[in-house]
Structure 1
Amino acid sequence: MWIPQRLKDGMFLIVLVCPRWLGCKWTVIAAFIAYMPYIGAQFYPQFSTMIPTGLLMGLGGGPLWCAKCTYVTVITKTFSEITRVDSDVVTVQFFAIFFTIYIFCHVWGNLVSSLVFSLDAGDVQDDVTCGANFCPSTASTTNNTNLERPSDEKIYTVAGIYLACMVIAVCIVSYNEDTRECDSKGASIVQLVTMTFKMLRQPRLLMLMPLSVWIGMQEGFMGADYTAAYVSCAWGIRNIGYVMICYGVTNALSAVITGSLVRLTGRVPIVVCATVLHSGVVLGLLWWEPSSHYKAMFFVMSGLWGVADGVWQIQINAMYGVLFPGQEEAAFSNFKLCTSLGYILTYSYSSYICTDVKLYIILTLMLVGVAGYLLVEWKERARANTRSNKE
């Protein structure tokens, strides 16, 4: 039932309207509440419960991400004015702090699921076809006991813990009465919607779109295809959480370190290093044949992917905030539309093509997207030099 969930961030009008009506803080609270029925539906996972709650979750996902990105961008402006530090550097650092905290959901969420799913687990089946040669719905996958669904009792336990965490999150966010409104220079809802669609004509946004779509695709691959074709297939579903904890830790550390390094190196060298690293991991996944006898490799691959993803999350989000000052809501709604498209593409073909083809698609689109990103950086640097020469 992934389709309604992954459509969440593409809701253009709701992404813009909710922050404008409710403000950033109450948009976050409303989005949290919209997530709860989907988690609760896991206790009775039927078509009649999953589809409506998935759609409701989708309606909350887009405004949630737009509100948090706008909020972070707005407070960076105030901090930059007070400290007189360059706003580009402050934006990257603030996004690094936010995403470091956010990324730790991979640690705690996966720790909970793995501890529960590991209870009374059976033996791991060897001699199965996994990795780049993994093809969904083939005889080798349907007869693989490593891919068997956990018991209902374990699923209910995990869902109950997650639902309790959502309730606590709502209480924490709503506790403080202080709020900060989203900054759109007093624009009306109609103006915001118009601004969003007009922004699609800007060359800078169009050049960043392939990389933005790819960010969603590579996240979808790690969350669905890597865990299925490599971890679950060769080592069992119960170990997914432990491997993804490694991904979360390296992701968070990458966000902290690269967010600080950008002050010394600038964005471009860090993005180029992430491109080289991510290309190497993709090629490694094409070559590697996973086996439960070599457990360390599962963590190495997920950890390196997490390092690269930490760069993409920080640098590209910050890039949108820097390129479109005063248009944050429209810019981030376009960004989330692109990443959502990447999610949708990944999940739409996930059940029909083999893993090696998916890896080739990811590698190709990444190279195209990075080329567009570097072109934007070159144009922005040329524009800044022209402006300084005139002054």
Structure 2
Amino acid sequence: MATGEEAPLLVEENGSQPQPLNHGRDVHILCWAFLLIFLAYGAVQNLESTINTEGDLGTISLGILYVSFAIFSVFASLVVRKMGSKNALVLGTTGYWLFTAANLKPSWYTMVPTSLYLGFAASIIWVGEGTYLTSAAHSHASDYNLHEGKVIGEFNGVFWGMFACHQLVGNLVTLAVLRDEKGGSTSGTTLLLILFLCSMTLGIILMCFLSKRNLKEERLHDSPITFSSSVGTLLKSILNLLLDVRILLVIPLMAYSGLQQAFVWAEYTKEIVKPALGERGVGGAMAVYGVFDAISSLAAGRLTSGLSSITIIVSGGAIIHLIVLVWLLLNYSVSGGILATLLPLLIGALWGIGDGVLNTQLSALLGLLFKHDLEGAFAQLKLWQSVTIAVVFFITTSVTLQTMVLIMLVALCISVAGFLFLTLNVEKAFSYRSS
């Protein structure tokens, strides 16, 4: 375990003095709870378009989910402020449980309402996660006199590295339980969903053991604030945040981070993996993606120490995605032999590295730049991510892979240009002004 300047997650207790909150314990609880919940939900999402095919129920449900996610993200910061980040995290888990349970009896009457509710639950759980983790990092750095940027980077690296493992574990469970039957049908779906519900239940229970983060949350939760004044405060907060040139310059990168995730779920599995490896190969390819995503998240988190390191790491991840996109646009085609197996897996590995970089560095960036409005900043992140994910789910049936790749290329170039302008020019001016 790292010590001193390396911002350890765990600090040895000293019986002679009262100890502050064990922030490392809370981070590990948060990691395990998210892993247990999302190894189940991630696998269900990957299967949604194949197990609920009648009337495109699965795909449409996911589209509704992310539209709801986008709408509720506008109000998520208010809910998290009122409830406190821990309570928001616990409430948010219920949406994932209900959505998975609805798949036991899939119909328009079960899937649509649970998709709408999951959009609300997802908005508050992710704003709560970003707020909780960053608050823990700030407190840990303050309590033990450690470098704030390095602690934020390490905490995000551990969380996102652990979170990325859900793709590996969930898809391996899916491969072990599901069986292909004659005529193209699949057996074992009910057993798989029950196992996933058990995993989610354990995650929900674990989430209840988190510590409340700080007194500020409790004051907000206990204070008698009217609904109208809360909405007014929310609108003022959103307006003030959107008048900040820094958030405007990072919004394209937020949008791209959602776009590249949806690309994996909607295009990579359907257009790249399935033609080469078949439907059973989707689970294996997503497991490879998850492994490299986890390794990338851990490494990027450990290397993060401030704005300069974030700039370098994000630029490296963007270059990796750029190489993959140009390759897909110009030269990629499904070939025979061993290359037919290796190339889709290589693309998944490279894409996972870029995703790990974006997850850790965006969270660290917001934690450093917007520490006085964490809920609002993370609400903006989830708003723009969910908007682009919803758009991809709705247009994926009407655009070709080449068109989608071209859209991704343009979005990547715009987002990186805005990000570099922010980190190399604008933030320097803000830092000089505040010093």
Query: Does 2:239 correspond to 1:179?
Result: no
Tell me the SS of whatever aligns to 1:205.
helix
Give the aligned partner of residue 130 of structure 1: none
1:378 correspondence with 2:424? yes
Q: 1:331 aligns with which of 345, 359, 377?
A: 377
- Corresponding residue for 1:157? 191
Residue of structure 2 aligned with 1:230, choices 272, 290, 297 = 272
| Identity level (%) | 24
Is structure 2 residue 301 aligned with structure 1 residue 290? no
Which residue is 1:200 aligned to?
Answer: 242
Q: What displacement does 1:306 show? A: 0.4
Q: 1:283 to 1:13 in 2, by over 3 A?
A: closer
Is the CA contact (8 Å cut-off) linking 2:74 and 2:380 kept in structure 1? Answer: no
Q: Which of 402, 407, 410 is the matching residue for 1:356?
A: 402
Distance verdict in 2 for CA 1:292–1:79, change over 3 Å? farther
- 1:285 positional shift: 2.4
Q: State the secondary structure of the residue aligned to 2:350.
A: helix
- Residue type matched to 1:111 in 2? L
Q: Alpha-carbon deviation of 1:221?
A: 0.4
Whether the 8 Å CA contact 1:183–1:326 is kept in 2: the answer is no
Q: Match for residue 42 of structure 1?
A: 103
Q: For residues 186 and 171 of structure 1, do their structure 2 counterparts lie closer, same or farther at Cα, with a shift above 3 Å needed? A: closer
For residues 168-199 of structure 1, what are the alpha-carbon distances to aligned partners after superposition, in whole Å with 9 as ceiling and x for unaligned? 1112222x273224856966633244212331
SS at match of 1:237: coil
Aligned to 2:263: 221
Structure 2 Cα separation of the partners of residues 291 and 323 of structure 1: 46
CA distance in 1, matches of 2:66, 2:298: 27
| Closer, same or farther: CA 182–247 of 1 in aligned 2, 3 Å | farther
Residue 20 of structure 1 contacts residue 182 of structure 1 at CA under 8 Å; is this kept in 2?
no
Moved more, 355-364 or 182-191: 182-191
Note if 1:30 corresponds to 2:91.
yes
Deviates more, 1:245-254 or 1:183-192: 183-192
Q: Aligned runs of 1:71-220 on 2, under 5 Å?
A: 71-117=132-178, 119-120=179-180, 150-151=185-186, 153-174=187-208, 176=209, 178-181=211-214, 183=216, 189-190=230-231, 191-220=233-262
8 Å Cα contact 2:101-2:193 kept in structure 1: yes
Name structure 2 gaps, 5 residues minimum: 1-60
TM-superposed CA distance for 1:85, in Å, is 2.7
The answer for the alignment partner of 1:7 in structure 2 is 67
Instruction: State the structure with bigger RCO (CA 8 A, min sep 6), 1 or 2.
Output: 1
After superposition, the Cα gap between the structure-2 partners of 1:106 and 1:183, relative to the gap in structure 1 and judged at 3 Å, is farther
Q: Post-superposition shift, 1:160? A: 1.9
Contact 1:74 1:183 (C-alpha < 8 Å) held by counterparts: no
2:391 pairs with 1:345: yes
Is residue 339 of structure 2 the alignment partner of residue 278 of structure 1? no
Aligned partners of 1:27 and 1:64 also within 8 Å:
yes
- Cα distance in 2 between the residues matched to 1:27 and 1:384: 32
Closer/same/farther in 2, CA of residues 107 and 246 from structure 1, 3 Å limit: same
Deviation of residue 316 (structure 1)?
Answer: 1.1
Distance apart, 1:20 and its partner CA: 2.6
CA RMSD between the two structures: 2.3
**In structure 2, distance between residues paired with 1:385 and 1:332:** 21
Q: Report deviation, 1:233.
A: 2.8
- Select which of 295, 300, 306 maps to 1:258: 300
Runs of 4+ more than 6 Å apart: none
Distance verdict in 2 for CA 1:330–1:263, change over 3 Å: closer
User: Which amino acid counterpart does residue 249 of structure 1 have in structure 2?
Assistant: V
Aligned residues: 361
Query: Residue 3 of structure 1 aligns to which amino acid in structure 2?
Result: G
Q: CA deviation at 1:366?
A: 0.5
What letter corresponds to residue 60 of structure 1 in structure 2? A
**Kept after mapping to 1: 8 A contact 2:289/2:351:** yes
What is the distance in 2 between the residues matched to 1:204 and 1:237?
A: 43
Q: Cα–Cα, structure 1 residues 343 and 329, in superposed 2: closer, same or farther, change >3 Å?
A: same
Gap regions ≥5 residues in structure 1: 123-144
Match of 2:356 in 1: 310
- Structure 1 residue 114: Cα displacement: 2.1
Q: Secondary structure at the match of 1:356?
A: helix
